[in-house]
């Protein structure tokens, strides 16, 4: 964590920024190893180029910051106190001029940004998120090891879901079995709201599980992931139940072909947007272009959706240590949908998939 703080301090010096206010739970965790949900209460990390940083948290969580390994100042406050009074005092005691300051433009509320800016005299403001994204996009060995284990748990979740399938069971009943078995393995939190979708409901990319009962001929789509030690996983697999039509086979095989082609192009030096375009061309050439409404994937790490966006517009370059999803899909309303998603790590010579549940079309009897 100390090395990450030093990288931010070096950036502040290079950009002649006097102070940075970091408010998002994910970036505070990345830089301090402390993770919590403060709800409406203020939590913030304040970093300066030539002075010691400090963390502000609700007083009931101050000890946990130290327990997480944070070695600098921690300021705790009660619900009856204004944390900005303590923040202003701590900044002024460090003799910070505040001619130029930074915060997360997409995260910090207007009220909090004004409270921060009011500490200084008409400062210039820059966005710290670009620097933090640059740091977070390449994972270190510890992060990768955690993400491997999170992906293994996602594979297990799909395995549980498949084993629960039987005629007449509802989507929510299968979902409950998946999350129960994961909790028995120590998983407290899912990366997002688990999706189990049957039949025509699988044709909604972000469908809501409910009381739809499983019947022969249905597509069954699982989309799930877990949070493990602050890092996420995300997997999608699609199955056929008892029978499959030629049209369903064609849809499935087209998605699989697109996914495998995008994975093949996942190597250092390649353009990010090309991964999307490769899959999009395959799906369009098969006649399903209008049924692939989303990008090929997204960055993955502390957040289940994070930088970079894996769209065809992205001119960024793949680098060793980047982690993201590849998840092409085809969604035909009267038939249902197929999505196949893997978590990908860029290696020195190519890539590996962190999720490894089999992808060939399976007909569940």
To the question of domain 141-364 being in CATH 3.90.230.10, the answer is yes
What pLDDT is attached to residue 314? 98
Percent of the chain with pLDDT over 70: 100
Does the pLDDT of residue 283 top 90, yes or no?
yes
Reported confidence tier of residue 21, pLDDT bands at 50, 70, 90: very high
Q: What is the mean pLDDT of residues 161-184?
A: 99
Encoding tokens for residue 126?
Answer: 């820059």
Distance CA 27, CA 129 (A): 9
Distance CA 101, CA 350 (A): 39
What rounded mean pLDDT belongs to the chain? 98
Output the pTM of the full model: 0.95
Query: Residues 353-365: pLDDT tens digits?
Result: 999 999 999 999 9
What pLDDT is attached to residue 155? 99
2 vs 177: which has the higher pLDDT: 177
Q: What is the mean pLDDT of residues 227-251?
A: 99
Query: Residues 33-70: pLDDT tens digits?
Result: 999 999 999 999 999 999 999 999 999 999 999 999 99
Q: What is the mean pLDDT of residues 207-211?
A: 98
Encoding tokens for residue 341?
Answer: 């998603």
Distance CA 332, CA 336 (A): 5
Q: How far is residue 151 from each of residues 146, 319, 340, 349, measured CA to CA in Å?
A: 9, 20, 15, 21
Q: What is the mean pLDDT of residues 189-196?
A: 99
Does the pLDDT of residue 121 top 90, yes or no?
no
Domain 2-136: give its CATH code. Answer: 3.40.350.10
Does the pLDDT of residue 165 top 90, yes or no?
yes
Encoding tokens for residue 213?
Answer: 């009962």
User: Phi, psi (5° rounding) for residue 281?
Assistant: -65, -40
Reported confidence tier of residue 122, pLDDT bands at 50, 70, 90: confident
Does the pLDDT of residue 123 top 90, yes or no?
no
Percent of the chain with pLDDT over 90: 98
Does the pLDDT of residue 16 top 90, yes or no?
yes
Does the pLDDT of residue 81 top 90, yes or no?
yes
Encoding tokens for residue 318?
Answer: 């793949």
What pLDDT is attached to residue 235? 99
What pLDDT is attached to residue 362? 98
Indicate the range of 80-84, 123-127, 360-364 predicted with least confidence: 123-127
Question: What residue segments make up the domains of the chain, in order of their start?
Answer: 2-136, 141-364
Distance CA 272, CA 274 (A): 5
Q: Per residue, what are the HEC states of the chain?
A: CHHHHHHHHHHHHHCCCCEEEECCHHHHHHHHCCCCCCCCCCCEEEECCCCCCEEEEEHHHHHHHHHCCCCCEEEEECCCCCHHHHHHHHHHHCCCCCCEEEECCCCCCHHHHHHHHCCCCCCEEEECHHHHHHHHCECCHHHHHHHHHHHHHHHHHHHHHHHHCCCCCEHHHHHHHHHHHHHHCCCCEECCCCEEEEHHHHHCCCCCCCCCECCCCCEEEEEECEEECCEECCEEEEEEECCCCHHHHHHHHHHHHHHHHHHHCCCCCCEHHHHHHHHHHHHHHCCCHHHCCCCCCEECCCCCCEEEECCCCCCCECCCCEEEEECCEEEECCCEEEECEEEEEECCCCEEECCCCCCCCCEEC
Reported confidence tier of residue 162, pLDDT bands at 50, 70, 90: very high
């Amino acid at each position: 964590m100390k090395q990450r703080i030093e990288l931010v301090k070096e950036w502040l010096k290079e950009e002649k920024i006097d102070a940075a206010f970091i408010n998002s739970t994910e970036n505070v965790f990345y830089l301090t190893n402390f993770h919590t949900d403060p709800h409406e209460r203020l939590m913030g990390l304040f970093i300066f180029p030539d002075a010691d940083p400090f963390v502000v948290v609700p007083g009931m969580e101050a000890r946990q910051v130290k327990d997480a390994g944070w070695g600098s100042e921690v300021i705790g406050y009660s619900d009856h106190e204004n944390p900005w009074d303590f923040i202003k005092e701590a900044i002024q005691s460090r003799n910070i001029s505040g001619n130029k300051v930074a915060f997360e433009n997409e995260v910090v509320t207007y009220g909090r940004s004004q409270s921060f800016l009011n500490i200084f005299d008409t400062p210039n403001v820059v966005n710290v998120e670009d620097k933090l994204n640059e740091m977070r996009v390449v994972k270190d060995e510890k992060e990768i090891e955690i993400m491997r284990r999170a992906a293994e748990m996602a594979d297990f979740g799909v395995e549980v879901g498949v084993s629960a399938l039987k005629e007449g069971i509802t989507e929510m009943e299968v979902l409950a079995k998946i999350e129960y078995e994961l909790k028995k393995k120590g998983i407290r939190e899912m990366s997002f709201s688990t999706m189990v979708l049957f039949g025509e409901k699988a044709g909604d990319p972000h469908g809501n599980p409910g009381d739809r009962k499983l019947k022969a001929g249905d597509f069954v789509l699982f989309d799930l992931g877990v949070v493990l030690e602050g890092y996420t996983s995300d997997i999608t697999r699609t199955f056929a139940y008892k029978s499959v039509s030629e049209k369903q086979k064609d849809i499935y095989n087209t998605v699989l072909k697109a996914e495998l082609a995008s994975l093949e192009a996942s190597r250092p030096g390649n353009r990010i947007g090309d991964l999307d375009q490769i899959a999009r061309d395959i799906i369009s050439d098969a006649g399903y272009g209008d049924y692939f409404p989303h990008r090929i994937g997204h960055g993955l790490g502390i957040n289940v959706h994070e930088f970079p966006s894996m769209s065809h517009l992205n001119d960024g370059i793949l680098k060793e240590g980047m982690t993201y999803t590849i998840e092409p899909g085809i969604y035909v309303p009267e038939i249902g949908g197929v999505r196949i998603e893997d978590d990908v790590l860029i290696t020195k010579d190519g890539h590996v998939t962190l999720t490894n549940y089999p992808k060939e079309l399976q007909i569940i009897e």
